[in-house]
Amino acid sequence: MRTKNLPPYAPTLIESTRAIGYSLETAVADIIDNSIAANAKDVIINFFPIDDAYITILDNGKGMTEEEIDVAMQYGSKNPIEERSEKDLGRFGLGLKTASLSQCRCLTVISKQGRYIVGRQWDIDHVSEVGDWSLNVLEEEDIWCIPQIDKLVKNESGTLVVWQKLDRLKAGEFNFELSLGRNIDHVRDHLSLVYHRYLAGESGITKLKISINGENIKGIDPFLSEKSVQVMDDETLVIHGNKILVRPYVLPHISNLSSGEIKLLGGKDGLRKQQGFYIYRNKRLLVWGTWFRMMRKGDLSKLARIRVDIPNTLDHLWTLDIKKSSASPPAEVKKNLEVIINQIAERSKRTWTFRGKKEVSDTETHVWNRMKNKQGGFYYEVNREHPLVQQIIKAYPDIEVSLNALLQQIEMGLPLNQLYVDLNNDEQIINDNEQSDGEIVKSLQEMITMCADKQEKCNLLDAIACIDPYSSHLDIVEKLKEEILKND
């Protein structure tokens, strides 16, 4: 048997890998992964949309030698099954090249260690012209022509990545400067979420500072850890001798969130789409807002989020893709996660329907009764035994028929569909606002005006004490009773 060496044709392969599917934000994140692996503490991103537009990403990491930069610029420089250091966020040895060239036709990488500076460049137009894997080795005079090089030189060490010939970003845009501004917003939001644990300086990792055009990025905690409830203890799954840490959260009810918090937690897609698993690899967020088909996304589970930390030693089991934006848990992990899903989904349901919990409690008197019809569906009717309804009928017996007719019209006109829409818009509704003590007192005083004597007033207050929200203000009810008995 003979063998024949068939290396891929460079122009074709490079053009093909440009279509892997990177967005601008995922491409930038792939470069930052390399900065983190190089122990960088600062990453400076600059977008320059005018004339010969470019994008630069500069870090103050350990930098690279001649040999290391050649390896970094080589396609497939690392085997994905090789063991890596814990800080390594790469896998295929393709990210730097495929991410960069998905956005531009010219990638320049310059690295510094002490007094030594080395530079390499992939220029797709040059590769197409010569028809070979021809990497440009930059001389000193070439290096000094690269944008932002003066900032790299000021560092003791670091790496500068430069994207030029931004053909993909310019394609179909009438106003490139305006469109790039919108893209910058997407990049900022993406990095704020993906690296939020690095930006916060979480224990065990070096705190990272990222800026875009001079503006520092603030991390977005998708669990709102300070206000959310960790409904279960951390659970550790051991797969092939490697530990996976699982931490479930239930977000606060919308009534307890500010509009800014709702926007941060839900993003442009809303809370419903952001529920589910948040998969971290070495504390870098990979995938979020999915249940991996183990449960449907529902409105009652939209407050549930589960943080899952996996090591890079299990990449092959999670079928991590080149862009690091897609992963799927292995069957042995799914089995353990299903138990956690059922528990946290139920807790989310109870939190979301917290105002309805009293509707099924025998210790409370409710305004609305939830009824089941013959077809198996549900409808709501006003509780005719409610103390206030009974007191009105007792005080004004002549209006009982008219009152019942009015209540029936209210029941028939209940806008259930609109209520469903309003509740799922991640917006606070006024019914969720708590009443002040003064408002409670005024409301109670208005109710007892229809009573004939002090005993009837006290009896009404006793009945009202079992009604929300007055059941949470029993001290006010008792004080009002004392005043009635003392004054009358």
Give 166-186 as a 3 state SS string.
Answer: CHHHHCCCCCHHHHHHHHHHH
Name which of 66-75, 82-91, 250-259, 426-435 the model is least confident about: 82-91
Query: Which pLDDT value is given to residue 24?
Result: 95
How is residue 467 annotated by DSSP?
B
- Residue closest to 152 by CA, chosen among 42, 38, 30, 69: 42
Please determine, for residue 465, whether its predicted confidence score (pLDDT) is greater than 90: no
> Distance between CA atoms of 176 and 333, rounded to whole angstroms?
45
Q: Which residue has the higher pLDDT, 297 or 165?
A: 165
Residue 351 is predicted with a pLDDT of 65
For range 206-222, the mean pLDDT: 95
Q: Which of 67-81, 234-248, 339-353 has the lowest mean pLDDT?
A: 339-353
Least confident range of 94-103, 352-361, 403-412, 420-429: 352-361
- Residue 421, pLDDT > 80, answer no
Helix (H) or strand (E) holding 8: none
pLDDT of the residue at 81: 42
The CA distance from 75 to 220, in Å, is: 34
What pLDDT was estimated at residue 331? 81
Q: What is the dihedral of CA 178, 179, 184, 186, to 10 degrees?
A: 130
CATH code given to domain 235-352: 3.30.230
Q: Does residue 91 register a pLDDT over 80?
A: no
Most confident of 14-18, 88-92, 230-234, 483-487: 14-18
| pLDDT category of residue 364 using cuts at 50, 70 and 90 | low
Kindly state the average pLDDT of the residues 356-367. Answer: 56
pLDDT of residue 484: 81
Predicted local distance difference test score (pLDDT) of residue 102? 94
The whole-angstrom separation of Cα 115 and Cα 155 is 10
pLDDT, residue 20, reads 84
**Distance, CA of 225 to CA of 227 (rounded, Å):** 6
State the sign of the Cα–Cα–Cα–Cα dihedral 476, 482, 487, 488. positive
- Mean of per-residue pLDDT scores for the chain: 84
Least confident of 10-19, 251-260, 425-434, 451-460: 425-434
pLDDT of 288: 92
> CATH 1.10.3720.10: does it fit domain 10-216?
no
Domain segments of the chain as ranges: 10-216, 235-352, 368-487
Alpha-carbon distance of 452 to 456, in angstroms, equals 6
> Tokens 């080589």 appear where?
74
Q: What is the mean pLDDT of residues 329-336?
A: 81
Residue 216 reports pLDDT greater than 80: yes
* For residues 1-16, average pLDDT: 90
8 A C-beta contact, residue 125 and residue 105: yes
The span from the first CA to the last CA of the chain, in angstroms, equals 112
